Structure 1
Amino acid sequence: MINSLYGLSWLAILFIWGDWRNWKRYYPTILFFTLGDFLYLYLLSDAYPMWRYVPPAADKDMGLTNTHISLSIIAIKYPATVLVYLSHFPQGKMMGKVLYHLGWVVLYVVNEIIDLHFGLIDYFNGWSLWWSAAFNAVMFFILKVHFEKPIFAWLLSAIFIIFLWNRFDVPSSVFR
């Protein structure tokens, strides 16, 4: 039930503020964004998670799991995020760009605080809300870079992944 409300909220955000008519322009960045979460879901979610979504009782009774919630986020929230975030990214002064970027980081952090408050997410292996905030700051920066310079974004992502991999001492056994 809650998962459906989140999904409907992000669909509303997409249709109200997103540049969904020009989705093809943003499609490569949507794929880039979703691939990152698919990799996390495949490699770490079961073997060495940083976080896991916890379905509330009503959703659990319907058989929903962390994987179902993650897939709905990948399918709905991430495309909506890209189509709104990039289509309204300010031009001109650096301060406006920085504040816009930080606004999106705060939005994602507030979303996660709500999830924490209602027990919809658990952290593991040293992850915390602060790490999520830092991750979101880097993620939104890299999404903008990917939209403009995809190859450079892949390089930045690889560096950031290696940093996180080492910081959280991810075992090589996650490779199946």
Structure 2
Amino acid sequence: MNAFYGLLWILALVKWGDMKNWKKYYPTILFYALGDFLYLYLLSDFYPMWKYVPQGLDKYFGLTSTHITLAAILIKYPATILIYLSKFPDRNKIKQFLYVIGWVLIYFINELIDVKLNQFTYFNGWNLYWSTMFTIVMFLILRIHHTRPLLAWFFSFLFIFLLWQVFDVPSKVFR
């Protein structure tokens, strides 16, 4: 299934992504990837919110949740940024709102399928509701990062602090 997802993201990137201007979006790709790397390092082993559950060929080849996450970081995230930011509507707030909601729905449906197929599981109070809220904030912050990176970092730290408090993340994650 994850190979299928990877192929879909690559095809979407080729069709809609602004690959020739990738340097323009590169800082936001790194910003997005860093967020998941921090999650992997700090939380995934000691206090996970979610994990992929390898099925089928993923399981057969011995892939782990970390392998699948890394594949998303390398394929899905750059494709998302190169499409999302390059097609982001200018000035029309209603179109911008609908555009962000459209992307949230894409990610929501992807996660819902994974949950229904038992390829994704939640821990420590995280659930599809929290994932959806996180995705809304994430897409807003990704857009802000593209135009005002320091402001995006501020909002990110604020949001992480809020989540840290809500989910009572223990200090043991800092090893």
Determine if the TM-score, normalized by the shorter chain, exceeds 0.5.
Answer: yes
- Give 1:120's aligned residue: 119
- Give 2:166's aligned residue: 167
- Give 1:83's aligned residue: 82
Offset of 1:58 from its aligned partner? 2.4
Q: Aligned equivalents of 1:110 and 1:57: distance in 2?
A: 20
Offset of 1:59 from its aligned partner? 1.2
Offset of 1:138 from its aligned partner? 0.1
Residue type of the partner of 1:79?
A: P
Q: Normalising by the residue count of structure 2, what TM-score does the alignment of the two structures yield?
A: 0.99
Q: Aligned equivalents of 1:89 and 1:58: distance in 2?
A: 36
Partner SS state of residue 10, structure 2 = helix
Kindly provide the CA deviation profile for residues 17-57 of structure 1, in whole angstroms up to 9, marking residues without a partner as x. 00011100000000000000000011101110000000103
- Give 1:109's aligned residue: 108
Q: Aligned equivalents of 2:163 and 2:66: distance in 1?
A: 22
Q: Report 1:25-44 matches (<5 A).
A: 25-44=24-43
Tell me, which stretches of 5 or more residues in structure 2 are unaligned?
none
Q: Identity, % of aligned pairs?
A: 58
Residue type of the partner of 2:97?
A: V
Tell me, which stretches of 5 or more residues in structure 1 are unaligned?
none
Q: CA RMSD in A?
A: 0.6
Kindly provide the CA deviation profile for residues 114-170 of structure 1, in whole angstroms up to 9, marking residues without a partner as x. 001100100000000000000000000000000000000000000000000000000
Residue type of the partner of 2:92?
A: K
Residue type of the partner of 2:30?
A: L
Q: Normalising by the residue count of structure 1, what TM-score does the alignment of the two structures yield?
A: 0.98
Residue type of the partner of 2:79?
A: A
Q: Aligned equivalents of 1:107 and 1:133: distance in 2?
A: 11
